[in-house]
Amino acid sequence: MVSKTSPQLHELEIRQHKENNNRKINGLSRYVLKYKEELKKRKASHNLCEKVIILNAAKAYRDELEIRNSLIKSKQQDKARKAGQASANARKAAHRNKLIMISINCCYKWMINTRNIRPDFQLLEMKNLQSCNGNPYDNKLPEEPYLFFEEELLESVNLLEDHQLNKLVLDLEHGAQKALELHQKWLDRWLHLPLSICRLDGKFGQEFAHKVSLMWF
C-alpha cells in the first residue's frame, strides 16, 4: 500500500490538480467564445467586450457547475437510498430463509426421533402435528428449534411473500417426487405430511436420508 507521503501519491495529486484546472479552463473557455461571438455581433467597444465577456462567462460557468453538482448530489442520494432498501430486503430475505430452513431441519429431527413410534400411533401423531396452532411467529428465531417445529411450522409459511412461497413449493415438490421414486413404500404411510419433509437439505437432511430406510419397513 502506498503511503500518503510517497512520491507516487504526490505525483498523482499534482496530475489530478492539473486535470481539474484544465477542465475548469475548458469549461470557462466555451462561455468566453460564446460571449465573444455575441458581442461581436453587437459591435461593442473592445474594453466593454472584455469586461462583459469575463463576467458573463464566469457567471454562466458557475451556473453550469451548480446544476451539475446538484444533479450529482441527487444521484448519490438516490443511490444511497436504493442501497439501503436493498440491504434491508436482503436481511429480511435471509431471515426468512433461515426460518424456513429451521422448520425443515426440525421436521427431519422430529421424524428421526419418532422413527420407533408404533404403527397404530403414527396416524394420530401426524394429525396432531397438522392441527397444531401455535402463536404467530414474533420475528425472533427460537432458542429451541425442535419445539418451534411442533408449535409453529405452519405459521412460518405465512411470512413468505408470494413469489418466495411459489419457489419453495416448486422446490419441495421436486424433492418429494425424487423421494417418491426412491421410497414409495415409506411415502405411502406419510402422504398427509407436509411436502417439506421430502426435501433432503439442511443440518439433519443427511441423517434423515440415512435413517429413512429404517422407518416402518
Which of 64, 87, 110 terminates a domain? The answer is: 87
Segment of 11-20, 100-109, 161-170, 206-215 carrying the highest mean pLDDT: 11-20
35 confidence band (pLDDT: 50, 70, 90):
low
Question: Is 105 in the same domain as 32?
Answer: no
- What are the C-alpha distances in Å from 190 to residues 55, 95, 108, 175, 198? 87, 29, 13, 15, 10
pLDDT average, residue stretch 206-212: 49
Q: Is the pLDDT of residue 154 over 50?
A: no
Q: Is the pLDDT of residue 81 over 60?
A: yes
Question: Is 36 in the same domain as 96?
Answer: no
Which of 70, 87, 104 terminates a domain? The answer is: 87
Q: What is the mean pLDDT of the chain?
A: 55
Question: Is 119 in the same domain as 195?
Answer: yes
3-state secondary structure the chain: CCCCCCHHHHHHHHHHHHHHHHHHHHHHHHHHHHHHHHHHHHCCCHHHHHHHHHHHHHHHHHHHHHHHHHHHHHHHHHHHHHHHHHHHHHHHHHHHHHHHHHHHHHHHHHHHHCCCCCHHHHHHHHHHHHCCCCCCCCCCCCCCHHHHHHHHHHHHHHHCCHHHHHHHHHHHHHHHHHHHHHCHHHHHCCCCCCHHHHCCCCCCHHHHHHHHHHCCC
Question: Is 81 in the same domain as 131?
Answer: no
Domain tally for the chain?
2
Question: Is 95 in the same domain as 187?
Answer: yes
pLDDT at 147: 38
Which of 42, 70, 87 terminates a domain? The answer is: 87
Question: Is 61 in the same domain as 139?
Answer: no
Between 149 and 121, the more confident residue is 121
Structural domain contains residue 137 = yes
pLDDT at 142: 40
Residues ≥6 apart with Cβ < 8 Å to 114: 125
Structural domain contains residue 139 = yes
pLDDT at 86: 77
215 confidence band (pLDDT: 50, 70, 90):
very low
What is the extent of the structural domain holding 43? 7-87
Structural domain contains residue 2 = no
pLDDT at 75: 81
pLDDT at 85: 78
Question: Is 105 in the same domain as 72?
Answer: no
Between 36 and 196, the more confident residue is 36
Question: Is 45 in the same domain as 123?
Answer: no
Question: Is 100 in the same domain as 81?
Answer: no
Question: Is 79 in the same domain as 104?
Answer: no
Question: Is 29 in the same domain as 117?
Answer: no
